[in-house]
Amino acid sequence: MKNICLILEYLGTNYCGFQRQKNGLSIQEVLENTLKDVTGEDIKTYPSGRTDAGVHALGQVVNFFTSSTITPEKFSVVLNLKLPLDIRVKNSFEVDQNFNSRKSAISKTYIYKIYNGKVLGAFDVGRCLFCGYKLDLNKMNEACKLIEGEHDFSSFVATNATTKTTIRTIYKAELRKDGEYLTFSVTGNGFLYNMVRILVGTLIEIGRGKISLNDLKILLQGNNRQKAGKTVSPDGLYLKEVKYN
Amino acid sequence: MKNICLILEYLGTNYCGFQRQKNGLSIQEVLENTLKDVTGEDIKTYPSGRTDAGVHALGQVVNFFTSSTITPEKFSVVLNLKLPLDIRVKNSFEVDQNFNSRKSAISKTYIYKIYNGKVLGAFDVGRCLFCGYKLDLNKMNEACKLIEGEHDFSSFVATNATTKTTIRTIYKAELRKDGEYLTFSVTGNGFLYNMVRILVGTLIEIGRGKISLNDLKILLQGNNRQKAGKTVSPDGLYLKEVKYN
């Protein structure tokens, strides 16, 4: 059995997220059905992490085991012929037997796109958050600096989430402005459920002056979900890159 | 009656084109229904030109007459509240009584986006032409220079089109490369039916070496539709801008 790794790009709009669900079409279901179609095998795929309904990926990493005679590099070609156009395999290659997309990852980068102008463009629907508020970018940049480092992110996790530890390390958090667009980029060793979307919701409140930098420092000490910003829409969220040793 | 001008952005994917059709939903039908909804009037809209099914607009110009008390600048706001998200009014203002979006125009600019890499990305579906051929960009740039000027474009018009004259003047034609993307930009005093899409089809054949620059010179003398390139997909075509005095 070979262990094959895929780099996936997808537009999450039409899917209920990466993970298989009873009541919706997932990326995983489409991908595994397509793998069955091209290999004849029942294949289970392992992603670097789930992405929620409507969340996009520029570089999701998935691995799976197969006895197929399709060469590792050919998988991208044969899968792209059969996959819907909103799910694309950018690359495929063989990896070590003990490689696991999630467990072997050393960091992940998400980006979140915000349109901070007057009218969200026709081409940005489902791909960008519309935020019409006047935002103090200096404060938001200072907030990014505070987010960096090891913290208890329990103020930034969905209330229904269950996880062993809420401690995570953020290696880099930054906000870039390009005309009326803002892109928040965050790299860390792992992310809690809804963490990036709650961080963005909190950054927006900081930009509006509704949450202070001091409030943020307290939030970063943990256990204060109610005082953090709201969970913003999945539309602007993209899993950009996963890194391995 | 005030003469109101709208600048429209739309994703053409879900529509049968700008113009009303019996067997499909057009931008015009949606726009006029929305105008009826907000003004109570039966309003006829006049575009700078039709765009075909699937063709997009970044700056379509439309005018209409109304007795509504809605102020000209407010039209963009009230229409955006009611229009589908893939049709947006970027701006609205009052114009002279004798202004006509089509007849008053002095130039139009279209752009055409081509992805010249290996796999069309999930985010480019319906928004970009996939072209996997190796292209000679120098030849294509030389071809752009030849296209500029006044020519009989009868080799570059859909065979079922009826028009008084096939003479048009192209003020500027250029091809820009940005990584694996190519953008053809063309500005002229007017365009024949399918003209930009046939010009792009011809440029691609020139890039592939299937049509020579000499062949192009002959095509630009007119009446040779069969020897020109094919009409490429509407996916990559955008009406970018219309200019007035």
Please give, one letter per residue, the 3-state secondary structure of chain B: CEEEEEEEEECHHHCCECCCECCECCHHHHHHHHHHHHHCCCCCCEECCCCECCCEEEEEEEEEEECCCCCCCHHHHHHHHHCCCCEEEEEEEEECCCCCCCCCEEEEEEEEEEECCCCCCCCCCCCCEECCCCCCHHHHHHHHHHHCEEEECHHHCCCCCCCCCCEEEEEEEEEEEECCEEEEEEEECCCCCCHHHHHHHHHHHHHHCCCCHHHHHHHCCCCCHHHCCCCCCHHHEEEEEEEEC
Per the CB < 8 Å rule, is A9 touching B122? yes
- The pLDDT of residue B159: 82
Per the CB < 8 Å rule, is B89 touching A121? no
Domain boundaries, chain A: 2-95, 107-240
Query: Is B213:B142 a contact under the CB 8 Å cutoff?
Result: yes
Query: Is A17:A30 a contact under the CB 8 Å cutoff?
Result: no
Q: CB of A125 within 8 Å of any CB in chain B?
A: yes
Q: How distant is the Cα of A130 from the closest Cα of chain B, in angstroms?
A: 12
**Residue from the list B9, B56, B122 with its beta carbon closest to the beta carbon of A85:** B122
Active site residue A52: yes
- The pLDDT of residue A178: 97
Give the count of alpha carbons within 13 A of A245, CB side only.
6
Q: pLDDT of chain B along its 245 residues, tens only?
A: 999 999 999 999 999 999 999 999 999 999 999 999 999 999 999 999 999 999 999 999 999 999 999 999 999 999 999 999 999 999 999 999 999 999 999 999 999 999 999 999 999 999 999 999 999 999 999 999 999 999 999 999 988 777 889 999 999 999 999 999 999 999 999 999 999 999 999 999 999 999 999 999 999 998 888 899 999 999 999 999 999 98
Q: What is the mean pLDDT of chain A?
A: 96
- The pLDDT of residue B79: 98
Residue A174: CB partners within 8 Å, gap ≥ 6? Answer: A141, A144, A184, A185, A186
Architecture of domain A2-95: 2-Layer Sandwich (3.30)
CATH code: domain A107-240 is: 3.30.70.660
Q: CB of A9 within 8 Å of any CB in chain B?
A: yes
Q: Is there a shared CATH topology between the A2-95 domain and the A107-240 domain?
A: yes
ipTM: 0.91
pLDDT, tens digit, 9 for 90 and up, residues A4-34: 999 999 999 999 999 999 999 999 999 999 9
Which residues of B are less than 8 Å from A9 in CB distance?
Answer: 121-123
Q: Is the pLDDT of residue A241 over 80?
A: yes
Per the CB < 8 Å rule, is B88 touching A120? yes
Of these residues, A42, A52, A124, A235, which one is catalytic?
Answer: A52
Q: CB of B81 within 8 Å of any CB in chain A?
A: no
Q: How distant is the Cα of B74 from the closest Cα of chain A, in angstroms?
A: 13
Which residues of A are less than 8 Å from B119 in CB distance?
Answer: 76, 80, 88-90
Residue A210: CB partners within 8 Å, gap ≥ 6? Answer: none
